[in-house]
Amino acid sequence: QLQLQESGPGLVKPSQTVSLTCAVSGGSVTTKNYYWGWIRQPPGKGLEWMGVIGYSGGTYYSPSLESRISISSDTSKNQITLQLNSVTPEDTGVYYCARGGTAMAPHFYQYHDWGQGTQVTVSS
């Protein structure tokens, strides 16, 4: 059974870089035709798709975040990593990793297997 577990620092200061990890168990990040996305939800707002990495390592990012985001995979650890640079309080929210079967899907509803999420708070 697939399980996704996000982890991260919790609290980050403005202008810093936040790095989040999604540990995958019960499946492999290199399984063909699966794509791994990051989605976030600011407090009181809806879900926002951030970016995706495919089974072969290709990436696609939301245009609104493209200058600040990087998603990578570590096949030896079977995990996905999100880095978001120059964070502001507007980046506060719950961050989810999720798996989908649609190539480079740019919408959160195209992902069917989700982790429980990890809270990121940007504050000085």
pLDDT of residue 82: 98
pLDDT tens per residue across span 69-104:
999 999 999 999 999 999 999 999 999 999 998 888
pLDDT of residue 104: 86
Percent of the chain with pLDDT over 90: 96
SS3 string of the chain? CCEEEEECCCEECCCCCEEEEEEEECCCCCCCCCEEEEEEECCCCCCEEEEEEECCCCEEECCCCCCCEEEEEECCCCEEEEEECCCCHHHCEEEEEEEECCCCCCCHHHEEEECCCEEEEECC
What is the pLDDT confidence band of residue 30, given thresholds at 50, 70 and 90? very high
pLDDT tens per residue across span 37-77:
999 999 999 999 999 999 999 999 999 999 999 999 999 99
